[in-house]
Each structure stands twice: as structure tokens, then as C-alpha cells.
Structure 1
Amino acid sequence: MSENLWEHRPESGYVTGTDLAGYRVEAIDGHIGKVDKHTAEADGANIIVDTGVWIFGKEILLPAGCISAVDHPNGTVFLNRTKEDVKGAPEFHRDHHTEAPDYRLTLGDYYSGRVL
């Protein structure tokens, strides 16, 4: 995994400047939703995923380091995480957590501790 969980992994195929909003999101074991918002800022790159009915319409924030591959022609983001990993992540509320440093630390600790 990338040394910085909040940066796109060079081997993922992410093309700098590409907005991933609207891309499908696939965990190791299946579909989890669609990218609602993508932020590519240095040391803070992430995607906000609308999970639809999978987790009762909740949104989740994923650090860019959780992205293993990006298929630009087909508009799909692949994660290096399972559905259970994503579902078990600390609860995300866009209004409170999008820019909150303490939430990012908690989320970073959660995903850094997950063995792939």
C-alpha cells in the first residue's frame, strides 16, 4: 500500500486531473456504489461513495490509498478492500467529517490496520 493512505497509488492507473465522480465502485467481493465526490488534493485525496441500498443509502469516505485500480474507459474504481471492511469503517457524516482532521486520523487508523 502507498506510504500515504491519502494519496493515489501510482500503480492504480489514476490519471492526475481526472474527476472520478460518477464512476462505479467495486470492492474485492462486489459492487458497493458510485463515486459521488472525488477530491485529489495532496495528502487528502479521497472519494465519497453513495452506497445506495447496499448500506441503507449511506455515504462513505474512502482514502485514495484504498483504490487499487481505476478503469477509466469503463468508469470503474476498484478497491483493495472487501465489502465488510468498508461496511465496518467509522460512520461518515458529510456535514461533519469531510474536512475534520480527527475523523481522517480515525479513518486512516482503521484502514491502515486492515490486513489485505
Structure 2
Amino acid sequence: MNDDDTLWRYTDEAGHRPALDLTGFAVHALDGYVGKVDRHTAEVSAAYLVVDTGWLFGHQVLLPAGTVIRIDPAERTVHLGRTKTEIRSAPPFLNALDPAYFQLLGGYYGPLA
């Protein structure tokens, strides 16, 4: 993890509840639809979403929980504080959840402005 682990936590404003299963929720960037949640974790200081973007067959991205600005359980949507371009340009998800990968993503996404 990077030293500032706030990127890897859901903010209070996001409305995340630990018992809420986000699998299958639609994911929206600031400028439109991104994909669907394939899997997620709510581990303290290590929470993230893996999103199947559908841009390419089997293409997935890992998004730190701190990129989530709002969860709407009634609409089954997750709203991100990032653009589609930022998400498309992110380091590729390689199913390698090691500290170096988290550090790379932390450097890429950084805190929300």
C-alpha cells in the first residue's frame, strides 16, 4: 500500500455498507458508464472494486475504494470521481494484488481533487 491509505477506503459520503454486495452493480464515471462490478472487497485500508469494462473481451480494471463518490443501492450503481479516460489509461489489472501493484495504482489515482 502507499503511505496514504485513504485512497483504499470508502469515504463516509460514498454510502458504502460492509454487508452490501456490489457485485453486478453498474459503474459510472463522471462522464458516463464504465462497466459492472465483477468483484470487490471492503477490507480496511485495502478496499477496491474490480470492474469488467466490456471495452475489450475480459478487460478489467482495479479501482481503489477512494475513487467511489456515491453508491446507490436502489439503482444498483456505483459512481466514481474519475473520468472514463482516466480509468481507460490506468495501469492494467493483472490479477496481481501485491504491494507494488497497489503502490503503482496509488500513484496513478492519488487522492480525489
Secondary structure of 1:104's match? helix
Cross-structure match for 2:63: 62
Aligned partner of 2:73: which letter? Answer: H
Aligned position for 2:32: 30
- Number of residues of Structure 1 aligned to a counterpart in Structure 2: 109
1:33 and 1:91, CA in 2 relative to 1: closer, same or farther beyond 3 A?
same
- Structure 1: segments with no counterpart, 5+ residues: none
Q: Percent identity?
A: 42
Matched residue, 1:77: 78
> Alpha carbon RMSD of aligned pairs, Å?
1.6
Encode CA deviations 1:16-55: one digit per residue, 9 max, x unaligned: 2211111000000000100000101011000000011x2x
SS state of the match for residue 74, structure 2? coil
Matched, 1:48 2:46: no
Q: Structure 2 unaligned segments of length 5 or more: list them.
A: none
**TM-score w.r.t. length of structure 2:** 0.90
Give the Cα separation in 2 of the matches to 1:17 and 1:109.
Answer: 29
- Per the alignment, residue 104 of structure 1 pairs with 102
